[in-house]
Amino acid sequence: MVSTNGYDALLVVSFGGPEKPDDVMPFLENVVRGRGVPRERLLEVEAHYQGFGGVSPINQQCRDLIAALDVDLPVYWGNRNWHPFLEDTVRQMKEDGVRKAAAFVTAAYSSYSSCRQYLDDIARARAAVSGAPEIVKLRHYYDHPGFIAAMADHTRQALDRLPAGVREQARLVFTAHSIPVSMARTAGPTGGAYEAQLRRAAELVTAQVDEGRSWDLVWQSRSGPPQVPWLEPDVCDHLEALHAEGVPSAVLVPIGFVSDHMEVVYDLDVEAAATAEKLGMALTRASTAGTHPRFVSMVSELLAEPEPAPCAATCCPAPVRPAARPGQ
């Protein structure tokens, strides 16, 4: 089977996550290799994963998305940081005779971490496999009607779960993974694209849910050394600020992610929920797009679009990282 664009396979590319306690540290080492994440932060994050039995939900969420897809092509799946590794998948694709695959990446926005790094992962996997298929990354979909409709539906459901007495005044608090300020500055073809795209998506979702309702965009899951500036405010600090302003309730909308993986269930459902509880604020959280039917059909729609132009080589450049000091 070959699609109208000549694709003979679909490749789902994701982050990957541990599936048992012994996977956690090797997975984390893969994530942070060469990235200057302090050891204390790593051990903290290890505890989050171990608290969930050493299992990240993300791999099963990829399987569920793949099972829900309705495409006339063979579907493959490869990850950046854990099994099934992209390189093994690309080798399998080659053995199966795949010649030109479309890649659907489970990250909707432009930035080094959410776009360029996946392109580099794909390039590295292809370089390791002689005769590897051509792999075309599908376009960014942060503003696609399918993604927006799924998030709007889930946001409405989360609003409905708030006590009726505080629903009217509830703030929509959109969240995304924080990134270093320097990475945010250089995101996209002309810089600033990560934030600008997130704001656009938040605006589109709000317009469908309740035009005119107040919303904010804040950040979660900050990593990296403390002296490096990352996007702020953090979601928990923001809840404190809203509370101080007299806002009685909020709906968290993790617009920056496409499934309810560990960053969502730990940083929002555990940490942010505890902050709201302490403040006496009513808080619910919208599900991510996951396997919402409109998000699933979006993948088919992207496959049918004309082949996207590749990102310019200067788009979303890799951060310049200071060399690690000895002993770090």
Ligand X SMILES: CC1=C(CCC(=O)O)c2cc3nc(cc4[nH]c(cc5[nH]c(cc1n2)c(C)c5CCC(=O)O)c(CCC(=O)O)c4C)C(CCC(=O)O)=C3C
Residue ranges at the known binding site: 56, 118, 177, 263
- Asked if 55 interacts with ligand X (CB under 6 A), we say no
Contact 108, 151 (CB under 8 A): no
Q: From residue 114 to residue 153, what is the string marking binding to ligand X with x (rule CB under 6 A)?
A: x---------------------------------------
Torsions phi, psi for 75 (to 5 deg): -110, 130
- Yes or no: say if 72 and 4 are a contact pair by the CB < 8 Å rule: no
Which of 135, 162, 179, 247 forms a contact with ligand X (CB under 6 A)?
Answer: 179
Residues numbered 268-307 forming contacts with ligand X, rule: CB under 6 A: none
CB 162 within 8 A of CB 282: yes
- Kindly tell me which residue out of 12, 32, 66, 201 binds ligand X, with binding defined by CB under 6 A: 32
**Closest to 267 measured CA to CA, from 252, 245, 248, 282:** 252
Q: Of 146, 139, 209, 225, which is closest to residue 174 (Cα–Cα)?
A: 209
Nearer residue to ligand X within complex by CB, 126 or 261: 261
Nearest residue (CB) to ligand X, 223 versus 249: 223
| Interface segment toward ligand X; rule CB under 6 A; list 122-130, 257-265, 279-287, 289-297 | 257-265
- Burial of 163 per CB tally in 10 Å (0-12, 13-18, 19+): exposed
Give the whole-angstrom CA distance, residue 190 versus residue 194.
Answer: 11
Distance CA 3, CA 325 (A): 50
Q: Please identify which residue in 37, 75, 228, 279 interacts with ligand X, judged by CB under 6 A.
A: 37
Does position 25 bind ligand X by CB under 6 A? no
Choosing from 110, 223, 249, 288, the residue that interacts with ligand X (CB under 6 A) is 223
What are the φ and ψ backbone dihedral angles of 171, each rounded to 5 degrees?
Answer: -85, 140
Closer residue to ligand X, CB minimum distance, 13 or 250: 13
Residues binding ligand X: number (CB under 6 A): 28
Q: Of how many residues is the chain composed?
A: 328
Residues that bind ligand X (CB under 6 A): 15, 17, 28, 31-32, 35, 37, 41-42, 45, 56-58, 106-107, 111, 113-114, 177, 179, 221, 223-224, 256-257, 261-263
